[in-house]
A and B are shown apart, each in its own frame.
Chain A
């Protein structure tokens, strides 16, 4: 058997109950487009019970309220990529979703599964972190909200334990002009359906007079075992004038603070240089979304 049982859950409550009952012999699965491949790799045999949460209505769908977007964890990547709401108010996430996999994969893969799979360059994780997103984790002990950024421990190692808890929702502050915007840049070896050589996602908030960045979040991956916040670059931009020299400087800082390893996806020199290029492009793009031209 690749797994022993595959049970479709109807509610989060049922899921939590089953997890407790199985005491570590059962784990949550959503779309399964990563997990099932891992379980089937060169024929492992697992006495595992999979609890399918992909069809639980209470954790599907995208709603907006009071300046926030609430996204159910079992919302499919396809639903995210088609959503007008996400395109307008959390653009970087829409861009990430549209780059993920193929149409067939997007119809099944979920945003929750993508985050819990904990790949550093996952196409929803990178923009979620750039958007400052929070995730709701539910277990038999109760519920908590955690920054998505804090869910990553290592490559494939999530701080969410799928044997005991369920990630149910994401909450994102709305990033929309005139003061806020987000964007994502991505390099890959093929036009589509390919893991990224490099991704940069960023979100910005400008002050009321649109003179400087009051808030910047820049995420770069894969350059480390977890998604990387380019904090030195962010610090250099915060509360400074929006002029090209500052943008270029920040891009250079982003490049200097990353230390990627050699990888099949690309050499170190190239990827570092591209961090600078993509960061610069992302900054210019996000400014054009706000209709703000950087001064020279």
Chain B
């Protein structure tokens, strides 16, 4: 018999290293043709930090992101930006890049104010143009401003660094303190169908709602959510390092250590929630880890909803579900007899 169930699970997750400083720095260089190069130590490992940092710089400068390039993660060329972990790069390196870009922006605004005969506060930089609010005909291109500055011996470069605000060391007795500058929150729902005869179950779909503050690149955020959920499914249902009694690994290849294939991946509906983070670049915080955190929990709740058993260990396997159901049937029989 096939039975369906739904389960939800919620988590929260602090951005950055726990209660420790973890700063990032960046250099931004606006070139004479209005294009931009960023140098930042943040390693892109597929999550898309390079692209996101370019988008942040572009926004801070008012230029189109297609004009921005980045060199990252080379210790001779790029300044330090910590690890690409703890879901911190968008939040911490993003701020470093934003601050560096702000320095350049200030140079543009000062020069632009002179050229356009306006106050700096009235200037807008958008789509590679600087113009005066209210009178869009008074404009100058960003690259022309750069060239003007150069002609006067001023190069449009900026440097910035950022450390999450107030990560304090935790009190050793009570754990009290402020361990993170920002938190991400998430709720996921898993819908499952259980085969009560074999204990096999199929995850039909997952809805994953994640508060990312602001999605710098929604496509990349979706990819992180979808990918994290699938990693969560693997963790929940099929992955396990196993040793023999002598400490030798029995699972040291992909035949014995199973990770989800395209047929194991359920349909995932990523839902981006944007509750702006005041300390984040344009309200953004991180999204790398949270998607991998609640999926197993939601699955366990969904299986209870479907068949009334709660599994007490990971991975949740067909065997565990089957044996739990078998035990439950026997207990119910005993109760009925009494």
Contacts and interface: CB of A to CB of B under 8 A. Distances in A.
Interface of A: 187, 189-195, 197, 264, 266-267, 269-270, 273-274, 277
B261 A193 contact: yes
Interface string B305-337: 000000000000111001100100000000000
A195 B323 CA distance: 22
B100 to A, nearest CB: 46
26 contacts: A187-B198, A187-B200, A187-B318, A189-B238, A189-B317, A189-B318, A190-B258, A190-B264, A191-B264, A192-B261, A192-B263, A192-B264, A194-B258, A195-B255, A197-B318, A264-B250, A264-B256, A266-B319, A267-B319, A269-B323, A270-B318, A270-B319, A273-B322, A274-B198, A274-B322, A277-B197
B319 A190 contact: no
Contact of A190 (B197, B238, B250, B323): B238
B261 A190 contact: yes
A192 B238 CA distance: 12
B242 interface: yes
A293 B317 CA distance: 33
B260 A190 contact: yes
Contacts of A277: 197-198
Interface of B: 197-200, 238, 242, 250-251, 255-256, 258, 260-261, 263-264, 317-319, 322-323, 326
Nearest to A270: B319
A197 B319 CA distance: 10
A269 B242 CA distance: 20
Residue from A190, A192, A194, A197 having most chain B Cβ neighbours under 10 A: A190
Contacts of A274: 198, 322
A109 to B, nearest CB: 14
Nearest to A278: B198
A192 B264 CA distance: 8
B263 A191 contact: yes
Contacts of A192: 261, 263-264
Given A264-B250, A264-B256, A274-B198, A191 B261 contact: yes
A270 B322 contact: yes
Contacts of A264: 242, 250-251, 256
Contacts of B323: 269-270
A225 B282 CA distance: 63
Nearest to B255: A195
A189 B258 contact: yes
A190 B236 CA distance: 12
A16 B100 CA distance: 75
Contacts of B260: 190
Contacts of A194: 258
Nearest to A277: B197
A194 B254 CA distance: 10
Contacts of B263: 191-192
Nearest to B200: A187
Residue from B317, B319, B323, B326 having most chain A Cβ neighbours under 10 A: B319
Which 3 interchain pairs have the tightest Cβ spacing? A191-B263, A270-B319, A192-B263
A294 B241 CA distance: 45
A192 B260 CA distance: 9
Contacts of B199: 270
Nearest to B198: A277
Nearest to B202: A191
A277 B255 CA distance: 26
A189 B260 CA distance: 10
Contacts of A189: 238, 258, 317-318
A294 to B, nearest CB: 17
Contacts of B319: 266-267, 270
A190 B251 CA distance: 15
A199 to B, nearest CB: 13
Nearest to B195: A277
Contacts of A195: 255
B261 to A, nearest CB: 6
B173 to A, nearest CB: 45
A192 B259 CA distance: 11
B35 to A, nearest CB: 43
A194 B259 CA distance: 10
A200 to B, nearest CB: 12
Contacts of B250: 264
Contacts of B261: 190-193
A192 B256 CA distance: 13
A269 B199 CA distance: 13
A267 B242 CA distance: 14
Nearest to A269: B323
Contacts of B318: 187, 189, 197, 270
A24 to B, nearest CB: 30
B26 to A, nearest CB: 42
Nearest to B197: A277
A270 B318 CA distance: 9
A35 to B, nearest CB: 15
Contacts of B326: 273
Nearest to A195: B255
A244 B242 CA distance: 41
Contacts of A197: 318
Contacts of A273: 322, 326
Given A190-B261, A274-B198, 8 more contacts: A187-B200, A190-B260, A190-B264, A191-B263, A194-B258, A195-B255, A264-B251, A269-B323
B206 to A, nearest CB: 16
A266 B318 CA distance: 10
Contacts of A187: 198, 200, 318
Contacts of B255: 195
Contacts of A266: 319
